[in-house]
Amino acid sequence: MLSNNITLTEENSINNATFEPKYYFSDEENRPPKLWNNKLWYIIAEANVSFNKDMFWNVVERWTNEVYLVIPPIERVDIISDIENKTYQGSIHDELSANINPVRSIKRKLIPKRKNKDEELEELVEYYMDEDLNESRVIYTPIISNSKESSQENVPFYYPKVFSFSYVYKEYNSDSDMDYQSQISIEIIPLQSVQFTDKMKYVYKQLFKKLYKWCQNTSMGYEKRVHHDLLVPKELYKETYQRLKNKYATDLVRNWTEKTDPVKFVFEDIAIASWLISLWELERIEQKSSKLQSFIDLGCGNGLLTFLLSSEGYTGFGVDLRKRKIWDKFIEKGANLIEEAIQPNSITYPSTDWIIGNHADELVPWIPIIASKSSSFTKLMVIPCCFYSLSGSKYTFPNQVITSGKYKAYQEYIQDIINKCGFITEIDWLRIPSTKNVVLVGRKRRVFDSKGK
């Protein structure tokens, strides 16, 4: 096991920010291994930081695509597969024993520059978001064939001699009185006989410094695009999320009858419902009203969001052109789900407070129009996903959008429709493990003068 009781503290000033990493190259008592997702992890480096989580993911993603930036002997990577919200067979976190699954898993092959001399290596890269611990984690695991023992000799020289290696970003609670908002660390699952040689210590330290420096630099050059909690305060959201999760999650995951991944849908929809319920709670306080809002979930799919909102006392229904098997269970428990093909150019819902379009495909660009025609008090929220235009065909992007990214450009297209329908668009970012987490809200109407301006 780990030996050589060394704890180092060093100071470095990188771009005016103080970097004070602590290294633990031993299993000394004050740094016991920690159990995470049913595996024992050893923290070997940690440091307080003040950049946000997006910087961490930004750098991780860059290193995933350009691995030679961190492992110079590697020329390139060949991606074997890349999947979301699932784990591969052979992952150290198999679905049965793990509490949480990765939000993304990449199986890839590292191709070295010196093809005749160095061996290729297959590797699993897994992204995790642990909402309970406020942790983001990327895990790298070399895949050693069954015929070989997972020993140091079988890991090429350019790769850390570990069973698994991870970078972790942890956000402190907002009520903690720490000066720093978060912490980064390197955590490993060691191979049985691992010893930290001076060379290994040097490599880990270099990697850790590099992670810090890249995140810090990204943060400094980064135009801050993501501001969570604009419409719903974090604490209110978290409280609601915890409550709904405790109340519904276990039962929903256990009794999921769809072919889709219950872990993805259940936790994502609980997050969306929590955000909406928090927003509506604030709205009632502002309007000094105790009447719960009514809603319609257009393109409701499996009906889970409708079920959650109805179960929390909100009156409303979900509509989808295709009934799902699980609807029967939700209908039995009081949810109102309707199988119907909506004609978006003619339908209105005059007595509804909120129209919801969660990844509602072709319906998303129509929802602001439907809301504005329904009544003067009808509001909307949409979470855009696939790129459809008002014609029902795929949205054609203007050429100049390539730099800002298609998702951002599509969001602006929907925003433009919301504005043209007379709403003031408000934006928030949902705390869900998806890059498509922008929510657009139209709840305030623009006031026009007599000339229509």
Ligand X SMILES: C[S@@+](CC[C@H](N)C(=O)[O-])C[C@H]1O[C@@H](n2cnc3c(N)ncnc32)[C@H](O)[C@@H]1O
Binding site for ligand X (CB under 6 A): 299-302, 319-322, 341-342, 358-363
Cα angle 240, 246, 249 (rounded to 5 degrees) comes to: 105
The CA distance from 243 to 99, in Å, is 19
Helix (H) or strand (E) holding 187: strand 182-190
For the beta carbon of residue 8, count every other beta carbon within 10 angstroms.
12
First-to-final CA distance of the chain: 73
CB of 366 to ligand X, least distance (A): 9
What is the rounded CA–CA span in Å between residue 169 and residue 184?
Answer: 5
Which residues are CB-contacts of 255 (< 8 A; sequence separation ≥ 6)? 329
Give least dist CB 327 to ligand X, A. Answer: 11
Q: Are 421 and 367 in contact (CB under 8 A)?
A: no
- Crossing angle (nearest 10°) for helices 367-374 and 406-420: 20
Residue 270 or 319 with smaller CB distance to ligand X: 319
Comparing CB distances to ligand X, the nearer of 96 and 341 is: 341
Quick one: 21 or 365, whose CB is closer to ligand X?
365
Query: In this chain, which residue has its C-beta nearest to ligand X?
Result: 301
Q: Residue 281 corresponds to which tokens in the numbers above?
A: 């709670």
Those residues with Cβ within 8 angstroms of residue 353's Cβ, 6 or more apart along the chain or in another chain:
293, 294, 295, 377, 378, 379
Closest to ligand X by CB, 121 vs 273, is: 273
Query: Minimum distance between the CB of residue 319 and ligand X, rounded to whole angstroms?
Result: 6
Shortest distance (Å) from residue 293 CB to ligand X? 18
Nearer to ligand X, 279 or 364 (CB): 364
State the virtual CA torsion across 169, 173, 179, 185 in degrees, nearest 10: -20
Contact 384, 414 (CB under 8 A): yes
Tokens 């301006």 correspond to: 453
Q: For residues 77 and 367, which CB has a smaller minimum distance to ligand X in the complex?
A: 367
What is the smallest separation between the CB atom of 325 and ligand X, expressed in angstroms? 13
**Closest distance to ligand X from the beta carbon of 301 (Å):** 2
Question: In the complex with ligand X, which residue's Cβ is closer, 184 or 305?
Answer: 305
Tell me the two tokens of residue 280: 């509506």
CB closer to ligand X out of 46 and 362: 362
Q: Return the closest-CA partner of residue 124 out of 61, 168, 157, 82.
A: 82
Shortest spacing between CB 249 and ligand X, in angstroms = 16
